[in-house]
Chains A and B, each alone.
Chain A
Amino acid sequence: MTDRRRLIDRRDFLTAAGAVYLSSLAPAALAATLETDAVFATAYQRRDGAYGAAILSEAGQILRVVELPDRGHDITFDPVSGRSVVFARQPGTFFVVFDHAGKMQPVTVQSVAGRHFFGHGVFSSDGALLYATENDFDNAAGMIGVYDAGAGFARLGEFPTHGVGPHELLLLGDGRTIAVANGGIETHPDFGRAKLNLPTMKPSYALVDRMTGDLIEKHELPSALHQLSIRHMDTDQTGAVWFGCQHEGPATERPALVGRAVRGKELELIEMPEPVLSGFRNYIGSVAANRKAGTIAVTSPQGNAFSIIDAATAKVVATRLLTEVCGVAPDRSGFLVTTGTGSIVEPDGRSSEDADHVWDNHALRIEA
């Protein structure tokens, strides 16, 4: 009962805090854009320091914003209800549910005691449940929190990710298996974002049954690569999962940073030409697949570069330099990318800058 009451109190708080602002587009133009085109969603920081999430047109126009109490991270979308959820960046303790068409007031949900979010989540295919990676920080154990999307996002329970420091998670094509990137890095909110176990970290990739919580498969990289944190993922046109890593070992080491996971097989790391790999500065910030085009994009804000990989041959087909590029989402036959300096670049290279916002690490495509 106590929990239920707290949830209601939280929602009152939310209505007050999560103001939504319409863009300066004329209402008719806005409606037309929302109905006909794909739109994109990303967390941002305004140059005056305020945080939020924005719905953007392909051309970089802000269609709508949702204010956030602190820095956001990734956004996930439920096509059934048309709602999106933006998660607080780790070690944040909230997520905000909003509707990019602006038909409902945003709702903010707090994490339960002893847990915080890692910034990523995913809906079940029917939109009934929301899954979020969470930190059971006192036990240094990764968890997937389960929320009832039909009942005000009440937390129904949780199951382990079978690893430390889970980051992104995906719902695989069977609609039942959740893939989790256990980054392996132990953190505790008492010590901010400090990494507490670098000498002994052990990242893994786990498949978990979302119905039972059972572990289906778990894979680790070879022990020599135990400091290679698996963090972001997307699924290609064949159902294989592509993942991007961040190396926590010495900068003089240049391990492979991108890999592929196929059910029932060991993880496979993808070779890249040395200058491309070296240019990523041991850091992949985001991974996205364009399933129609059969390509994967990996971005590196540390390296100010991103590459496009042909999924079938696992070869890098293009590399671009772009300052602080990180957010990436499939668009037409390529990718739309966003940067920490406020620019949005379309697949054809057309770029728009935003004087008031800089874009956070991830971008999401929302189909109209």
Chain B
Amino acid sequence: MKILHHPSAVAAAVALATVVCLCGGPASASKATDIVTRSIDGFIRPGYRAFHQSTSALYEAGKALCTAPSQAALDADRATFAKTVDAWSRIETIRFGPVAEQSRLERILFWPDRKATGLRQVQAALADKDPTVTDATGLAGKSVAMQGLGALEFVLYGAGSEALATGDEHRCAYGAAISGNLDAIAQELETAWAAPDGFAAIWANPSAQNPQYRDGTEAVTELMGVFVTGTELVRDVRLGGFLGKDAAADKPRQALFWRSNKTVDALAGNLAGMRDLLEASHLADALPAEASYMGKSALFEFANAASAAKGADGPIAAVLADPDRRAKLAYFGLVTSSLSDIFGTQMSGALGLTAGFSSLDGD
């Protein structure tokens, strides 16, 4: 009420807003608190904890490789990289809150690097043996493209990476610095979400005095946005970035994590994370009875996506060259579109969240 300057207009405007909404009414604050709290405790906090554990192991493996280079140590470091990608992929569809601060999202993964600016910076740092990239703290102040998973992938898998097994002091130190920087960011994320009076409390307690979530509907809309923007990210940005209309239009080198063969795992991880979030939040329990099937529809499609991804395993260039596996990947895209519709249109509508025609997807 406070935001209206003309009290006489209040009743009319509020009545209008209510009439306009064709839906079953906004989520009550307490119901929203339940959904949000379950999302935080059941998915977000454990997700960031797992990501932090993976980055800590990554940092240790990176330092171990530098101390005693060997093929086994390089393999071990690469394995921790793969696990870090898996952990990140599950939680990366959370794109609000602490990860949106201080460019953390882009510092963890700057992608797409369309003009290969980041790649050139990484290659230049390696070629020049730039001494300023071997320190995690100093790295944090550099270009976002030089400090995250994309840069580390090139260090560990790109041209010249085999020398890490026999000892490439500078390259190894740069890789360890990136890992240390990632570990520091992951720790910040875990800590920020764990704080009882931090962002989690703001999100879970919508009220008229809350600067970010005025009511339950806004709090639940933030959660719904994870599914709506997450499915769009997977389909339009990640998959659409390299999967052409036909095989001739494919661009395998434009795929995320093609060097480490983690392209499909990352896609599958994004959807698996969203499935876990749906289950943890019990969002579907809030659906009216006649719409309760939508939760099951979503789980059915998540399962379809998971099995399609499993069938499309392997280096992305090989997957795209194999008509069977390529078709599975295209099917994965189709299922992602279906999920986008389930969340963005059907479930949003049934929950009385605005359909998002202009507001969630603005311009």
From B173-181, B232-240, B305-313, the one touching the partner chain is B232-240
Which of A121-129, A235-243, A321-329 lies on the face that meets chain B? Answer: A321-329
Bound-state CA distance A84–B214 (Å) is 40
A345, B9: Cα distance in complex, Å: 14
- The answer for the CA separation of A214 and B225 in the assembled complex, in Å, is 42
Contacts of B355 in A (CB 8 A): 340-341, 358
Question: Is B13 touching A304 in the complex (CB atoms < 8 A)?
Answer: no
User: By DSSP majority rule, is chain B's interface helix, strand, loop, or mixed?
Assistant: loop
Alpha-carbon distance between A283 and B101 when the two chains are bound, in angstroms: 18
Q: Which of B1-50 contact A (CB under 8 A)?
A: 2-6, 9, 12-14, 16-17, 19-22
Task: Take A90-B363, A190-B241, A275-B2 as given contacts and tell me if A320 and B9 are in contact as well, using a CB distance cutoff of 8 Å.
Answer: yes
Contact indicator A360/B358 (Cβ below 8 Å)? yes
- Residue among B5, B16, B358 with most chain A CB within 10 A: B358
Q: B96: CB under 8 A from chain A?
A: yes
Give which listed residue, B5, B22, B112, contacts A317 with CB less than 8 A.
B5
Neighbouring A residues of B245 by C-beta, 8 Å: none
Max count, chain A CB within 10 A of own CB: residue among B13, B19, B110, B233: B13
Q: Across the interface, which residues of B come within 8 angstroms of A199, CB to CB?
A: 103, 106, 110, 144
Report A313-350 CB contacts with B as 1/0, cut-off 8 Å.
Answer: 00011111111101000000000000111110100010
Q: In the complex, are the beta carbons of B359 and A304 less than 8 A apart?
A: yes
A275→B236 contact, CB < 8 A: no
Q: Closest A-chain residue to B235, C-beta based?
A: A192
Which partner residue on chain A sits nearest B199 by CB separation?
Answer: A252
Residue-wise interface mask of B (249-282) relative to A, using a CB-CB cutoff of 8 A (1 in contact, 0 not): 0010010000000000000000000000000000
Contact with B along A25-51 (1 / 0, CB 8 A): 000000000000000000001000000
Q: Which of B4, B5, B12, B103 contacts A349 (CB 8 A)?
A: B12
Question: Do the beta carbons of B358 and A326 come within 8 Å of each other?
Answer: yes
A365 in contact (CB, < 8 A): no
Write out, one digit per residue, whether chain B residues 216-233 have a CB within 8 A of any chain A CB (1) or not (0).
Answer: 000000000000000011
Please give, as numbers and ranges, the residues of chain A lying within 8 Å of B214 by CB-CB distance: 279
* A321–B26 CA distance with the chains assembled, in angstroms: 15
- Partner of B357 from A73, A304, A358 at Cβ < 8 Å: A358
What chain A residues lie within 8 Å of B356 (beta carbons)?
340
Q: Which of A74-132 contact B (CB under 8 A)?
A: 89-90, 119
> Which one of A140, A246, A251, A275 has the highest number of Cβ atoms from chain B below 10 Å of its Cβ?
A251
Q: Is the CB of B212 within 8 A of A340?
A: no
Cα–Cα, bound, A208→B39 (Å): 49
Interface size on B, residues (CB 8 A): 44
**Closest Cβ neighbor of A188 among chain B residues:** B114
Chain B residues, CB < 8 A from A339: 20, 358
Question: Which residue in chain B gives the minimum CB-CB distance to A196?
Answer: B114
Q: Does A194 touch B at the CB level, under 8 Å?
A: yes
Residues of B within 8 A of A305 (CB): 3
Tell me what chain A mostly uses at the interface: helix, strand, loop, or mixed: mixed
* B54 CB-CB contact with A under 8 Å: no
Q: Does B116 contact A (CB under 8 A)?
A: no
Q: Are B358 and A194 in contact (CB under 8 A)?
A: no
B3 engages A276 (CB within 8 Å): yes
Contacts of B357 in A (CB 8 A): 45, 324, 340-341, 358, 360
Q: How large is the interface on A (under 10, 10 to 19, 20 to 34, 35 or more residues)?
A: 35 or more
Q: Provide the residues of chain A in CB contact with B16, threshold 8 Å.
A: 321-322, 343, 345, 349, 351
Q: Which of B5, B20, B212, B240 contacts A353 (CB 8 A)?
A: B20
In the complex, which residues of chain A have a beta carbon less than 8 angstroms from the beta carbon of B5?
Answer: 273, 276, 316-319
Answer whether residue B100 sits at the interface, using C-beta atoms and an 8 A cutoff. yes
Q: How many angstroms between the C-alpha atoms of A24 and B101 in the bound complex? A: 52
Cβ-based interface call for A52 (8 A)? no
- Establish whether residues B236 and A194, one from each chain, have CB atoms under 8 Å apart when the complex forms: yes
A142 CA to B287 CA, complexed, in Å = 44
Residues of B within 8 A of A89 (CB): 363
Check: B354 CB closer than 8 A to any chain A CB.
yes
Shortest beta-carbon distance from A248 to chain B in Å: 10
Q: Are B20 and A351 in contact (CB under 8 A)?
A: yes
Residue numbers in A under 8 Å from B20 (CB-CB): 322-324, 339, 341-343, 351, 353
Taking a contact as CB atoms under 8 Å apart, the answer to whether A320 and B115 are in contact is no
User: Are B22 and A119 touching (Cβ within 8 A)?
Assistant: no
Known: A45-B357, A251-B100, A358-B357. A194 touches B112 (CB 8 A): yes
Q: A194-B112, A323-B20 are in contact. Are A340 and B359 (CB under 8 A)?
A: yes
- B106 CB contacts on chain A under 8 angstroms: 198-199
Given A199-B103, A279-B3, A301-B359: A320 touches B13 (CB 8 Å cut-off):
yes
* B196 located at the interface, meaning its Cβ lies under 8 Å from any Cβ of chain A in the complex: no
- B100:A193 contact, CB within 8 angstroms: no
Q: Would you call B359 and A196 a contact (CB within 8 A)?
A: no
| Sample of 9 further A-B pairs with CB below 8 A, known A194-B112, A196-B112, A349-B13 | A186-B114, A192-B232, A285-B362, A301-B358, A301-B359, A302-B362, A339-B358, A340-B358, A343-B16
Chain B interface (Cβ < 8 Å from any Cβ of A): 2-6, 9, 12-14, 16-17, 19-22, 96, 100-101, 103, 106, 110, 112, 114-115, 144, 211-212, 214, 232-233, 236-237, 240-241, 251, 254, 354-359, 362-363
> What are 5 A-B pairs with beta-carbon distances under 8 A?
A191-B114, A191-B240, A249-B100, A318-B6, A341-B22
Interface residues, chain A, CB within 8 Å of chain B?
45, 73, 89-90, 119, 140, 167, 186, 188, 190-194, 196, 198-199, 231, 246, 249-252, 254, 273, 275-276, 278-279, 283, 285, 301-302, 304-305, 316-324, 326, 339-343, 345, 349, 351, 353, 358-361
